[in-house]
Structure 1
Amino acid sequence: MRQNFAPLAAEHSNNLNLIRLIAALSVLVSHAWPITLGPGAVEPLEALTGFSLGALSVFTFFAISGFLISASFERSDGLWTYLRARAARIYPGLIVSIALVTLGLGPIFSTLPVPSYFAASETWQAFFGNSSLLRLHYHLPGVFEDTPYKTVQGSLWTLPVEMRLYVVVALLGLLGMFRRPVLLALTCGLGLLVVSFSGSLEFRGAHALRSLWYPGLPFFLGMAMYLARNRLPASSIIAFALVLVSVLCAHGPLGYVTMALAVSYAVLYLAGRESGPLRLWNQVGDYSYGTYIYAFPVQGMVIALWGGMSPVENIAISAPITLGLAVLSWHWVERPAMRAIRRRGQVKPQISTPSASSGHLSTGP
């Protein structure tokens, strides 16, 4: 019997948690080059293919998110249920992380005296702006001033984009677009084209609109794969062919489109593929979001503590610390928050606990 993507939308048993963790660790690896060598540093994969390991992680996270969030909307009892579930997944872990970094790490590593650090308006703008995702601040007063890369919260940029795409899903769903896949595809395609050509236009909300372009394509590809899950074949041959085409086109004008398509299809294919003992990872937890939100400040902290080092050394020291924080975040913050929502009977069981899509577009904000 020909395999399709329907089982991925119907079963709890899949490889999504493991794939997302690998993607989150890939972001950490990708960031090690600019964090240790400075903003102009280019990681080896990007020099070879034109796409950094972090950029491929963007495609991975957003393709998975497009698939799962579309399913989440269809399974929700209503708009409020859907929005509460999304907020419960993003904000509890984020707010704790921002508090630890801004109010804990910040005063320790700032060149300012502690009273001056807490008196600085930039400190509180960063705390409230980052924890709400309404206005991001990537730096903290005096923090990491003596390191090659002074940014403290360089990974946060994807989270407001993710939230905007949640709203887009809700709007498309409320308009009944999920029942009109052809019209939906045309609408999303036209929307992405408009966004891609809006670079020179300045108007209120222009930046928020343009931010949807790069992650938007893999997100909507994931959505399309969900809607076509019963008809779209899940094939290793198709996955290999798409990857081959993307490699051949990587440095050309179709590089982004072919790579986004290849990664989106291949990742969701691997997510549903039977993997034997690897499926046991689902019993451990989903540590991808915590890994993502803690990695950047931890990597900067490592440089601040031990001074100059190679990217490999930074990865070796930062990864265990980051994973430890991610484990605590999942078991003490993220999972309890989602369970609290479900206990109140406002959210149906999910096909898989959707992680916040996180990733990396460039070496910094």
Structure 2
Amino acid sequence: MRQSFAPLAAGQNNNLNLIRLIAASCVLVSHAWPISLGPGALEPLEAATGFSLGALAVFVFFAISGFLISASFERSSSPWRYVRARVARIYPGLIVSISLVTFVIGPIFSRLSPADYLASVETWLAWLGNVSLVRLDYHLPGVFEGNPYPTVQGSLWTLPVEIRLYVVVALLGVLGLMRRPLLLMTAVLVGLAGLSQAPAFDFPGAYALRSLWYPGLPFFLGMGAYLMRARIPASPVVALPLAVLAAISMHGPLAYPSMALAVSYATLWLAGLPSGRLREFNRVGDYSYGIYIYAFPVQGMVVALLGEMGPLSNIALATPITVALAMLSWHWVERPAMKILRRGQIPQANSASQAP
């Protein structure tokens, strides 16, 4: 019997939780180069292929998100329940993380006195913009100014894009377009291609539309895999040629779409592979989101505390602190908040409602 992506959508016994954790860790590793050495530093993978480890990890996240968010909408009894699930997943952990970084790490590492830092309008505007995801501010007054890379919240840029894609899924679902997957996916891919060729658009909302192109492609590929899950084979016979195509196209005009396709397909295929004892990891918890939102400020903090260091030292020092914060975030903030906001028991950490 031909294996498809249908089993991945039907149950929680998969490898998505572990894959997301690995992807979040890859983002930490990728950021160690610019955080330690400055904005111009390229990690070895990016220098060789044109794609950083962090960029590939973003493809992984968005492909999984496209698959799971589409499933989440279809399983929701109403659009309101869908919105509530999305808010419950994104905002509680984010609000706590941004508040800790802004009001604990910020005063300690700012060149301003704690009183001046907390009295600064920029501090409060940054906090409000970041917790709402309406207006991101990657810097805090006087914080990490002596670091090679003085940015404090460098990973947040994907979250507003994720929110916009949640809205797109809701609109497509309400309009009934998800029931016509071939037509929908053709229209979406043509639209994304158009966005990629029109960087000069200048009208209200143009930036938000353009931002959907880069992470939007793996997201919609994940959506397509879900909507056509019974018809798309999940097999290494497909994954290998896609990987070869990505390698051949690596430095050409098709580099991004071929890589996005290869990574998206491989991610979902690997998620459904039988993995024996690795499935026990699903009992632990979903620490990927916490790692993602805490890693960048923790890595900057390590540099601010200890001074000049190489990327490997930054990874070694920042990882245990980041993982500890991610564990606390999952068990004390994210999971309890989801249980309260959803008014009931929540599923296992690798289920559809746990995206991104």
In the superposition, the TM-score normalised over structure 1's length comes to: 0.95
Native 8 Å contact 1:72 1:350 kept in 2: no
2:166 corresponds to 1:166:
yes
Q: Given residue 205 of structure 2, which amino acid in structure 1 is its aligned partner?
A: G
Native 8 Å contact 2:37 2:148 kept in 1: yes
Q: How does 1:1-365 map to 2 (within 5 A)?
A: 1-344=1-344, 352=351, 354-355=353-354, 357=356
Question: What are the Cα deviations for residues 211-257 of structure 1, in whole angstroms up to 9, with x where unaligned?
Answer: 11100000000000001111111101211111111011111111101
Native 8 Å contact 2:17 2:350 kept in 1: no
Cα drift, residue 16 of structure 1: 0.5
* Partners of 2:74 and 2:352 in 1: CA distance: 15
Paired-residue identity, %: 67
* Partners of 1:70 and 1:198 in 2: CA distance: 27
Q: Does the C-alpha gap of structure 1 residues 10 and 162 become closer, same or farther in structure 2, counting only changes over 3 Å? A: same
Identify which range, 158-167 or 111-120, moves more after superposition: 111-120
Question: What are the Cα deviations for residues 42-70 of structure 1, in whole angstroms up to 9, with x where unaligned?
Answer: 00000111100001011000000000000
* Partners of 1:353 and 1:335 in 2: CA distance: 14
Query: Is there any run of 5+ residues in structure 2 with no aligned partner, and where?
Result: none
Query: Is there any run of 5+ residues in structure 1 with no aligned partner, and where?
Result: 358-365
* Partners of 1:334 and 1:186 in 2: CA distance: 36
Native 8 Å contact 1:75 1:348 kept in 2: no
Cα drift, residue 350 of structure 1: 9.1
Native 8 Å contact 2:72 2:352 kept in 1: no
Q: Does the C-alpha gap of structure 1 residues 244 and 222 become closer, same or farther in structure 2, counting only changes over 3 Å? A: same
SS class of match (1:238) = helix
Question: What are the Cα deviations for residues 287-324 of structure 1, in whole angstroms up to 9, with x where unaligned?
Answer: 00000000000000000000000000000000110000
Native 8 Å contact 1:123 1:140 kept in 2: yes
Cα drift, residue 78 of structure 1: 0.7
Question: What are the Cα deviations for residues 250-301 of structure 1, in whole angstroms up to 9, with x where unaligned?
Answer: 1111110100000000000000110000000000000000000000000000
Native 8 Å contact 2:286 2:349 kept in 1: no
Question: What are the Cα deviations for residues 152-182 of structure 1, in whole angstroms up to 9, with x where unaligned?
Answer: 0000000000000000000011111111112
Q: Does the C-alpha gap of structure 1 residues 56 and 355 become closer, same or farther in structure 2, counting only changes over 3 Å? A: farther
Q: Does the C-alpha gap of structure 1 residues 14 and 284 become closer, same or farther in structure 2, counting only changes over 3 Å? A: same
SS class of match (1:343) = coil
* Partners of 1:355 and 1:344 in 2: CA distance: 14
* Partners of 1:221 and 1:340 in 2: CA distance: 32
Q: Does the C-alpha gap of structure 1 residues 350 and 106 become closer, same or farther in structure 2, counting only changes over 3 Å? A: closer
* Partners of 1:81 and 1:23 in 2: CA distance: 28
SS class of match (2:342) = helix
Q: Given residue 171 of structure 2, which amino acid in structure 1 is its aligned partner?
A: L
* Partners of 1:180 and 1:228 in 2: CA distance: 10
SS class of match (2:138) = coil
Native 8 Å contact 1:106 1:140 kept in 2: yes
Identify which range, 288-297 or 174-183, moves more after superposition: 174-183
Q: Given residue 178 of structure 1, which amino acid in structure 2 is its aligned partner?
A: M
Native 8 Å contact 2:287 2:323 kept in 1: yes
Identify which range, 189-198 or 2-11, moves more after superposition: 189-198
Cα drift, residue 75 of structure 1: 0.1
* Partners of 2:350 and 2:147 in 1: CA distance: 43
Cα drift, residue 355 of structure 1: 4.7
Cα drift, residue 193 of structure 1: 2.2
